[in-house]
Amino acid sequence: MAHAHHLPDGFLWGASTSAHQTEGGNTNSDWWQFEHMQTPIIKEPSGDACDSYHRWREDMDLLSELGFTDYRFGIEWARIEPAPGEFSRAAIAHYRRMVEGAQERGLRPLVTLHHFTTPRWFMERGGWAAAGSDELFTRYLTAAAPVYATGVDHVCTINEPNMVAVMAAVQRAHLSGEAPPTTGMPLPDGATTEALVRAHARAVETVKSCVPHVRTGWSVANQAYQTLPGAEDAAAPVRRQWEDVFLEAARGDDWLGVQSYTRTRIGPDGVLPVPEDAERTLSGWEFYPRALGQAVRDSAALAPGVPLIVTENGIATADDTRRIQYTSEALDSLTSAMNDGIDVRGYFHWSALDNYEWGRYAPTFGLIAVDRETFARTPKPSAAWLGAMGRRPILSPREGL
């Protein structure tokens, strides 16, 4: 690849956050409750997180100054609907100000409606698998419509539904005292999977009925499966339950979010551990940036004709030079897929900020460091490097990125 890759016109170039991982004080959510149970998954509670509920303006100022043109952030159901059928006008107004604040700073907002967390009351009635969960979700989205009514072109209904279904399996095992699987993660909970597919379809209808022009989709955690010879029979059911059913549910959508971090190798006996000689990130995953190119190809194959947006891609590391190396290789694999005709409309890095990684703060994914005591924000070299790239051609690493 000797030529420069120009970003197509209108290409979304941004960074992502979620509500619970950055806002702090999300006391009415199921996750806050889960964080304060005795469970080995949780090393520390989220607490104040990055205090972004109050400091979102500073977050957006930095992203805009760094050169990003887009920002993906979430709104929190537990704040908007603290009790069943009781909606907080103040919370809705808060998220509306965030949408307007993004626009004022030249950032196009991509708004995520559900990113792993639900109100406690929703969990206590049985979560997604309980009857009527999709109706409750659509009631929340109707109430929250003023947030995305104008100035928002893209809405993500549910972030990583496959991981939501896995978490449901984990939480159920924890609450019932079942032993977790010895290797890897449990398969997604089947009833939760079915409910999420239903809820997504209903959410798309609801958002469109409130705001017809908004482009809707959901984002799937792509595993970049690599099946070893002779392991096809072992791979088929894993791929089906973990990924394919969620990608197929996106077939009629305006766009599909691709979230990629590493690959997953499958042998005859199932998912294989990370190779012993591989470099690992702070999340324990294999350093494998080229997973992104495969992830968009795999997504395009299962949802043909649906435009793709990379809604998350990044690395947990304390060494920012590895973040730049990882991201440059990931982008190289992405542009290679785009050159082969894969329709990718945007790239959002995970994450804008070092934040709460579902049980601990140690895995730092941020382009911007956050002091855990003062909340001071400090952009890392990777932030300026990646932000500037939105304003010039993406070069392949061999041309001195």
The Cα–Cα gap between 347 and 367 comes to 14
CB 314 within 8 A of CB 365: yes
At residue 41, the pLDDT reads 86
- Among 53-62, 191-200, 338-347, 383-392, the minimum mean pLDDT is found in 383-392
In the beta sheet, which residues pair with residue 381?
none
Average pLDDT for 15-28: 98
Q: What are phi and psi of 179, to 5 degrees?
A: -80, 135
At residue 308, the pLDDT reads 98
CA-wise closest residue to 287 among 258, 331, 329, 227: 329
The full length of the chain comes to 401
At residue 182, the pLDDT reads 55
The pTM is what? 0.95
Contacts of 104 (CB under 8 A, 6+ apart): none
Average pLDDT for 19-39: 96
At residue 1, the pLDDT reads 33
Q: What are phi and psi of 23, to 5 degrees?
A: -70, -45
Q: Does position 312 have pLDDT exceeding 80, yes or no?
A: yes
At residue 401, the pLDDT reads 39
The Cα–Cα gap between 57 and 66 comes to 14
Q: How far is CA 123 from CA 32, 144, 168, in A?
A: 12, 20, 10
The Cα–Cα gap between 401 and 399 comes to 6
Across 22-125, the runs of DSSP E, i.e. the strands, are 70-74, 108-112
CB atoms within 10 A of CB 38: 6
At residue 184, the pLDDT reads 66
The Cα–Cα gap between 172 and 361 comes to 24
Three-state DSSP class for residue 368: strand
Cis preceding linkage at 88, omega within 30: no
Average pLDDT for 260-266: 97
CB 25 within 8 A of CB 122: no
What average pLDDT does the chain have?
A: 94
Helix (H) or strand (E) holding 369: strand 368-370
Q: Does position 174 have pLDDT exceeding 90, yes or no?
A: no
H helices of 149-290, in order, are 161-176, 190-210, 232-239, 245-248
Three-state DSSP class for residue 158: strand
Could you say which DSSP state residue 394 is in?
A: B
Domains of the chain: 12-399 (3.20.20.80)
Q: How confident is the model at residue 400 (pLDDT cuts 50, 70, 90)?
A: very low
At residue 87, the pLDDT reads 98
